[in-house]
């Protein structure tokens, strides 16, 4: 599913020392997320910075980091800003979507991502397992959603074609039956009409054609 951009192997920056095996998680994210969605995951766990005290400042920092460090537009950047009490206070989380990534990581997909973050962040799992599970399950859900929508549209199109074809066939058969019925009625009428009356009718029709 990847779009041709090479996978960025060094896609985790951990200033907090929370990951146990960064290299292993990076390779797992490649297999579980990038291969399925074509979107490059990038995780930045940033140490406490007292100069960034508002959410808007932190979001601006993340967006500036994206613009400064990435040329590809298929990157989904997740940034965690730690608080002063790093181990006890939950910091601020945000994301930055590249233009190419937004076709997959749309608003609904991002909601799915945040739902899994909420589910796993407060669990007893290690940081490695948290992010592996979040990205893996997000990929499965959003790709299932995309496939389901595609299937729905496909079946709607097929049903529409079948419906139109069926209408045309029914119309043709109805017209044919109508013509057959008229022809049969005409045959019955001729058979039930005496020969002298038939001759008179034909003569009257000939005179009508002559004077018309």
Note whether 181 and 81 are same-domain residues: no
Note whether 134 and 31 are same-domain residues: yes
**pLDDT of the residue at 168:** 47
The SS3 call for residue 121 is helix
| Contact predicate 39/105, CB 8 Å | yes
Number of domains in the chain: 2
Note whether 123 and 178 are same-domain residues: no
Note whether 140 and 189 are same-domain residues: no
pTM summary value: 0.69
Asked, for residue 70, whether it belongs to a domain, the answer is: yes
**pLDDT of the residue at 95:** 98
Note whether 85 and 126 are same-domain residues: yes
**99-103: long-range contacts at Cβ-Cβ below 8 A with a sequence spacing of 24 or more?**
99/73, 100/3, 100/72, 100/73, 100/74, 101/39, 101/40, 101/73, 101/74, 101/75, 101/76
Note whether 91 and 137 are same-domain residues: yes
**pLDDT of the residue at 157:** 43
Asked, for residue 4, whether it belongs to a domain, the answer is: no
**pLDDT of the residue at 5:** 76
Which CATH number goes with the domain that contains 59?
Answer: 3.10.310.50
Q: Which domain holds residue 30?
A: 12-146
Mean pLDDT (the chain) is 82
Q: Distance between CA atoms of 91 and 179, rounded to whole angstroms?
A: 80
Note whether 25 and 122 are same-domain residues: yes
Note whether 142 and 46 are same-domain residues: yes
Note whether 16 and 85 are same-domain residues: yes
**pLDDT of the residue at 30:** 97
Asked, for residue 163, whether it belongs to a domain, the answer is: no
Note whether 141 and 177 are same-domain residues: no
Asked, for residue 121, whether it belongs to a domain, the answer is: yes
Asked, for residue 103, whether it belongs to a domain, the answer is: yes
Low-confidence ranges of the chain (pLDDT < 50): 148-162, 164-168, 170
What secondary structure letter does DSSP report for 84? S
């Amino acid at each position: 599913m990847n779009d041709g951009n090479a996978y960025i192997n060094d896609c985790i920056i951990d200033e907090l020392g929370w990951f146990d095996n960064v290299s292993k998680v990076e390779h797992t994210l490649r297999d579980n997320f990038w291969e399925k969605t074509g979107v490059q995951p990038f995780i930045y766990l940033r140490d406490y910075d007292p100069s960034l005290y508002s959410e808007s400042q932190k979001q601006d920092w993340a967006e500036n980091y994206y613009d400064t460090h990435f040329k590809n537009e298929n990157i989904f950047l997740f940034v965690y800003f730690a608080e002063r009490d790093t181990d006890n206070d939950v910091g601020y989380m945000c994301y930055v979507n590249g233009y190419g990534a937004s076709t997959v990581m749309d608003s609904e997909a991002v909601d799915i991502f945040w739902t899994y973050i909420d589910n796993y962040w407060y669990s007893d799992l290690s940081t490695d397992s948290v992010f592996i599970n979040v990205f893996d399950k997000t990929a499965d859900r959003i790709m299932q959603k995309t496939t389901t929508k595609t299937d729905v549209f496909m079946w709607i199109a097929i049903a529409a074609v079948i419906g139109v074809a069926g209408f045309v066939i029914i119309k043709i058969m109805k017209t044919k039956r109508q013509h057959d019925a008229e022809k049969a009625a005409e045959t019955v009428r001729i058979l039930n009409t005496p020969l002298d009356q038939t001759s008179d009718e034909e003569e009257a029709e000939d005179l009508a054609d002559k004077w018309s």
